[in-house]
Structure 1
């Protein structure tokens, strides 16, 4: 690497001295140059003997002249990839925080070299097209990834120029960011009748020159079933709505005007319009808003136009508008029935998600619904409740923000298939939630026994309000396994709901509030842990047989008399418990209950004050070091037992009798019983253990 030839080739790279010096010592710099030269030579050595047979090839832009001289041998080439390995673009990252020293002369020379490279790429493709017309089908380019912290790019205008030279896409079945620029270069001459999927189309560069052609290319995709793209703005799908309207005006299929008489499925009856009249059979629509182009009429047009076939609808507002004034995004106004829709995902980000009161009724076959915004504060009088709906197939319901406030709890009487329920205010990563004062909450539900008649009349005069539907908490949800409630929904939670949720395994009740919040502490009463009494029947305890994980976060209060009822009777198989803000109990009494009766419990995270070492030991808390020693002994014992089992299995015959199998099962059961003898307890920064008796 010290020879004249290497030095000449290294100098040809013409790197900025400040960048080259940052590579390290001279030996390291030489190695970087050597690796690049070796890569180029390997590329040429492997390809040149078989140029005539190559159908695809990667070309070094730095050595493009060398490849151009062999153009006559590249008659089989259909795909070419330009590796941008000549350093002509510099970035701040290349200097590792140092000063960017680039003279005007060097910058001018680099820009000129870049222009020569780009022109050479265009000419290479043009020459091949002239010599072998129609043979080259695909041309791509990317950074050669040879120089650290430097990314070389090809301007979209040059890519466009190259793609105009080669033939258009041949009857594509999908469009994406990988081929859309190619389509755009031949938009009018490309057959789009077979396109079924449009995915990951982003703006603005991928829509280069689209303003000239508008959105008519979408209408030409007659087999289209899936769209995942950034919005193109107002009117993008007006053509689809107009097609549907024109067909309905013919009077031969009034499918969308039919409501309840079709029942839940709504898919029987006359031949669907999209088959009868050749309408686009779109099933999956996923549209994202951008900072430059806001959502407008796209969703309403799509819902109307593809109501018979639409199965999945996803709308995502721009997430980078936190510092802008929030907008109100309306969904559901004027919608028709969507009998095929199973997935509805709407996220308004920092805007207000406003749902039409009939939205759920238009979607009877939903299995997944996630309707969210990041709203954290609200006025109770602004809440408009949706109408209850029959959603017998719903599997997952995620409501955050205004969608949670406007949800009608009566809908849950029809959701027997529900497995996951999330009803919250604010994002899941916030530290605190807004909860209106207790008297205002009661008033919003039409029940405020604390007000005098005179005060109630004055309040009604000042701010009349339609009462929100009451939450009865008596739903039968036999499939529910996960429940998360925050803010006012967790605050008003009633434990008798658990009677209708026998499969529930995870529950999170979060009422963390800010310092300025006026809501009272949520005090748990013993009566809440029992089924409301009825005439002639004794009081019966509520039991959540399947619950394994419980999160109780925020200002809860529970006294010592409830500990056994709560942790042993209510949650007999609880394995993992975390609280943050629970007060009213003595740690000593909790430890005593856990030690004697919490068989399944494995871990607890507590927010109570850390006990002093002497006091911790007296109440039965074992320090972390002792636990680790015990754990190591248990692991060694388990390993020995596993080895013994393996030895026994090797010695056993294939005709092992039933008695031996039974003995083996009994032994495993005993091992399982021995497992988990400690409950790990985290109090502040300390880890303790409670040894079960």
Structure 2
């Protein structure tokens, strides 16, 4: 017996539940394969596998029939356990003619007895071709076409839908095949649900069948979740929403029937039905059901209270708003994309367990109550901060019931995500102050300021955010000037991403952040002003850093780099000297133009970053990059350096000295990036002589797999090919915009030949693919020349 079968039944059950917890196709396949091991595992796994049988397939059908065919096969597997005499004639006919069932489906085990959630996917009963596309009606079998256009189905359709169908833009013959699929879906749900109504906890059924479910409400004793598919469109988009009098009467009756279903169930089993919703249908894409959905939801919400919601969002707000005064919000942990107008003080203050707010924007002053609570808590402890006093005084002057925070504590808000925020923002200041001890995640996707303001300031006056782990800010139309002390006050940060579109700038305007200690930082991505003001001393403590990106906006792919003299002066560099310390209060020869400027911090480029795997530098950061940094990055796998400017005045020459660092004994140690696999260098890069390029690729990057060299100068395609040959081990792709010799003789001398797709492989070719200006070549071996000679 295998070890898995020797486990106690309870242990094995917990393991199998964990395996299928995601309910995706992989977990279903894994669990299904375990059924074949032995009867013991089969007996325990079957109830778990069929508890929610259609959950992995809910969603739109994927291309290639990856979900449509399995869901159809599953539905027919379950239906095969029901006697054909109990099925609707159309469903029985479809089962007999189904082409997906190559073999008879065994029915010895009662799969239906295990089902607790029945939500048959709608597209399981639509015809698909072998490529996974909806099959054209003319491709149906002759027997099926005969049944679809026969007298029985036609009369059934006219009786059900004559007063609700679109008659302007489609004929009866065009609508009958769609109705046939709709009918199969409806009858399949009823046939599967009828024998197991007493055990169902969740049920999805079509509006067209509401009369049958009204008659069996008293059997749905365990039903907690109900979904009605609006498969009768009373409004048609193509008819501009016009509704006939007869259709309006039918619609009103349908709404009354749904409301009656909920009322009857609530009467038979009080507080059992927890959620009710409607969903659009898959069969009639031109049918407009949004208005009907709102009408039904509004009517149902008045009779179905929401007990102890855990989140507030558009999908449940209508139900909560109907019973606003009687709904307990004490367990709400998330508020997601609600209308800002509904987030008043009373509602927010009732959400004592609130941990996450994700909104498009916030109404002004919506969190001022939290300031008062924090102030009062500190006053009770003999401490008063005095911060935001005007808000506290205004709030405390109003009469209010005994504070909830005295018994339940302060609201533990941890995550705030705003799609838009206008700066300066009182709301952000209030959040940072009131929830500073619990806030772990802050993201603002779009920071906006007045149109005439170039720079918006963020974090001014913020004191301490000791548990903040992630900070993400973006300002597409402004420059973000971060409080220089902010990062230093957030010692728990693991991810910082600040983005704006700063392009050109004067160096004397750059005021660096204060040095920060962020030992847990793993991802640092700064684009724009944040990158310029970043203090490199922070890298001395980031031993866990994995991704580092310092970049500037690049309109049309070009960088801006200040003139070299100005750039050097801003770093305190004199002439060709390395960085030197300069006292900004003392005039220094040669710096009269920038004598009052702030000297930016010294970049040592020798940080110890053992976990760094990705490094991206553009503009001045790439131009000033020193390869000795690679010595402290043994795990680096991707390096991207972009210095291409419109003027083309900034050239970096790689010399042999750049390939070494001084050793402990005075010798020169070669710089090696042992794990680097991808190197991208765009701009005016050059080498001191051709041999340096060979050393650069051959020794510094022993595992390099892809090399992109664009905009290089002083390097020929011949010297590049020689460098490729010198380390033709792992290097499998090189992309460049260097000019390639035009004639066959010239290409032969260089050692490249055009690659012929699908042709016979050149035995003299190396494994490196060379892309030059859109054309692919292969690099030939060195001994090819000697053969020709």
TM-score range, shorter chain: 0.7 to 0.9
- 1:496 matched to which residue of 2? 628
Contact 2:373–2:410 (CA<8 Å) still a contact in 1? no
The match for 2:524 is 397
Asked whether the 8 Å contact 2:449–2:456 carries over to 1, the reply is no
CA distance in 2, matches of 1:185, 1:544: 63
Residues 578 and 606, structure 1, Cα contact 8 Å, conserved in 2 = yes
- Residue matched to 2:166: 16
CA distance in 2, matches of 1:540, 1:54: 72
Match of 2:328 among 188, 191, 206: 191
1:623 aligns with 2:754: yes
Aligned to 2:273: 136
Report the Cα distance in structure 2 between the residues aligned to 1:105 and 1:587, rounded to whole angstroms: 70
For 2:617, the equivalent position in structure 1 comes to 485
Alignment partner of 1:467 out of 570, 579, 599: 599
The aligned counterpart of 1:681 is 770
Query: What secondary structure does 1:335 align onto?
Result: coil
Alpha carbons of 1:430 and 1:341: their partners in 2 closer, same or farther (altered >3 Å)? farther
Residue 531 of structure 1: CA displacement? 4.6
Q: Contact conserved, 1:198 with 1:229, CA < 8 A, in 2?
A: no
Q: Kindly state the Cα deviation for residue 470 of structure 1 after the two structures are TM-superposed.
A: 3.2
Q: Counterparts of 1:538 and 1:134 in 2: how far apart (Å)?
A: 81
Match in the other structure for 1:415: 542
Q: 1:441 to 1:107 in 2, by over 3 A?
A: farther
Question: What TM-score results when the alignment is normalised by the length of structure 2?
Answer: 0.67
**1:491-529, Cα deviation, whole Å (9 max, x unpaired):** 22122222322332211001233x3xx461323141551
Give the deviation of 1:132 after TM superposition: 5.4
Question: Are the counterparts in 1 of residues 437 and 465 from structure 2 also a CA contact under 8 Å?
Answer: yes
Distance between the aligned counterparts of 2:383 and 2:517, measured in 1?
26
Please, which of 434, 437, 450 is the counterpart of residue 305 of structure 1? Answer: 434
**Is 1:315 the equivalent of 2:464?**
no
Aligned positions of 1:532-571 closer than 5 A: 537=666, 540-558=669-687, 559-571=689-701
Q: SS of the residue aligned with 1:489?
A: helix
Tell whether the 8 Å contact from 1:574 to 1:601 is kept in structure 2 after alignment. yes
In structure 1, C-alpha distance between the alignment counterparts of 2:249 and 2:473, rounded to whole Å: 49
What SS does the corresponding residue of 1:625 show, helix, strand or coil?
coil
| Superposed displacement of residue 551, structure 1 | 0.3
User: Are the structure 2 counterparts of residues 251 and 174 from structure 1 closer, same or farther at C-alpha, using a change threshold of 3 Å?
Assistant: same
Cα separation, partners in 2 of 1:604 and 1:519, compared to 1, 3 Å: closer
Q: Answer with 325-334 or 227-236: which moved more.
A: 325-334
| Counterpart contact for 1:244–1:279, Cα < 8 Å | no
1:289 shift after superposition:
2.5
Corresponding position of 1:669: none
Structure 1 position 146 matched with structure 2 position 283 = yes
Q: Match of 1:340?
A: 467
Answer whether contact 2:569 2:591 (CA < 8 A) is retained: no
Q: Which residue is 1:583 aligned to?
A: 713
- Of residues 590, 599, 621 in structure 1, which corresponds to 2:729? 599
**CA displacement 1:69-99 (0-9 Å, x = unmatched):** 55566565443212111123444xxxxxxxx
Q: Is the 8 A contact 2:550 2:618 kept in 1?
A: yes
Secondary structure at 1:524 match in 2 = strand
Aligned length: 603
Change (3 A) 1:352 1:562: same
> What is the Cα deviation at residue 143 of structure 1?
0.5
On the 8 A contact 1:560/1:584 being kept in 2, the answer is no
Q: In structure 2, do the counterparts of structure 1 residues 569 and 136 end up closer, same or farther at CA, with 3 Å as the change threshold?
A: closer
Q: Which runs of 5+ in 1 are unaligned?
A: 92-99, 258-273, 635-675
User: Using the alignment, how far apart are the partners of 1:627 and 1:680 within structure 2?
Assistant: 15
Counterpart CA distance in 1 for 2:479 and 2:245 is: 51
The answer as to whether partners of 2:213 and 2:261 remain within 8 angstroms in 1 is: no
Q: How far apart, in 1, do the equivalents of 2:559 and 2:154 lie?
A: 66
Instruction: Name the CA shift for 1:103/1:624 in 2 (closer, same or farther; >3 Å).
Output: closer
Aligned counterparts, 1:307-456, within 5 A:
307-317=436-446, 328-426=455-553, 431-447=557-573, 449=575
Shift of 1:407: 0.7
Q: What whole-Å deviation, never above 9, does each CA across 1:317-350 have from its counterpart, x for those lacking one?
A: 27xx899777755332222222222322233344
Match of 1:202 in 2: 337
Question: 1:115 & 1:555 partners in 2: Cα distance?
Answer: 73
Measured at CA, do residues 42 and 600 of structure 1 come closer, stay the same or move farther in structure 2, by a change above 3 Å? closer
User: What per-residue deviation string (whole Å, max 9, x for no partner) do you get for residues 447-486 of structure 1?
Assistant: 4649x999954x459xx53232232323222332211011
Task: Determine the structure 1 residue equivalent to 2:234.
Answer: 88
Instruction: Measure the CA separation in 2 of the matches of 1:186 and 1:474.
Output: 62
**Cα separation, 2, equivalents of 1:203 and 1:343:** 23
Q: Whole-Å Cα distance in 2 between the matches of residues 66 and 295 of structure 1?
A: 59
Determine whether 1:60 maps to 2:206.
yes
1:323-378 CA distance string (max 9 Å, x none): 97777553322222222223222333444322101011111122222222233343
Q: Quickly say closer, same or farther: Cα 1:133–1:330, change in 2 above 3 A.
A: same
Alpha-carbon distance change, 322 to 434 in structure 1, aligned in 2, over 3 angstroms: farther
| Post-superposition offset of 1:588 | 1.2
- SS of the aligned residue for 2:557 comes to coil
Q: 1:692 and 1:215 mapped to 2: Cα distance?
A: 75
Partner of 1:287: 417
Distance 1:304 1:481 in 2: 35
Structure 1 573/511 Cα, relative in aligned 2: closer, same or farther at 3 Å?
Answer: same
Query: Could you tell me whether the CA contact under 8 Å between 2:420 and 2:444 is conserved in 1?
Result: no
Match of 2:369 among 225, 232, 239: 239
Task: Compare 242-251 and 110-119 and name the one that shifted more.
Answer: 110-119
What RMSD over aligned residues (CA atoms) do the two structures have, in Å? 4.0
Question: In 1, Cα distance between the equivalents of 2:269 and 2:287?
Answer: 35
Q: Which has the higher contact order (CA 8 A, sep 6+)?
A: 1
Q: Distance between the aligned counterparts of 1:532 and 1:48, measured in 2? A: 79
- Structure 2 gaps of 5+ residues are 1-147, 388-403, 577-586, 783-789
Q: Structure 1 555/187 Cα, relative in aligned 2: closer, same or farther at 3 Å?
A: farther
Structure 1 residues 157 and 370: CA distance shift in structure 2, 3 A: farther
Q: Does 588-597 or 116-125 show the bigger shift?
A: 116-125
Residue 31 of structure 2 corresponds to residue 31 of structure 1:
no
Q: CA deviation at 1:110?
A: 6.0
Q: Which moved more, 1:336-345 or 1:10-19?
A: 10-19
Alpha-carbon separation, structure 2, partners of 1:335 and 1:202: 26
Structure 1 Cα separation of the partners of residues 220 and 694 of structure 2: 82
Structure 1 residues 402 and 591, CA, compared in 2 at 3 Å: closer, same or farther?
A: same
Deviation at 1:139, TM superposition (A): 1.1
Partners of 2:178 and 2:424 in 1: CA distance: 49
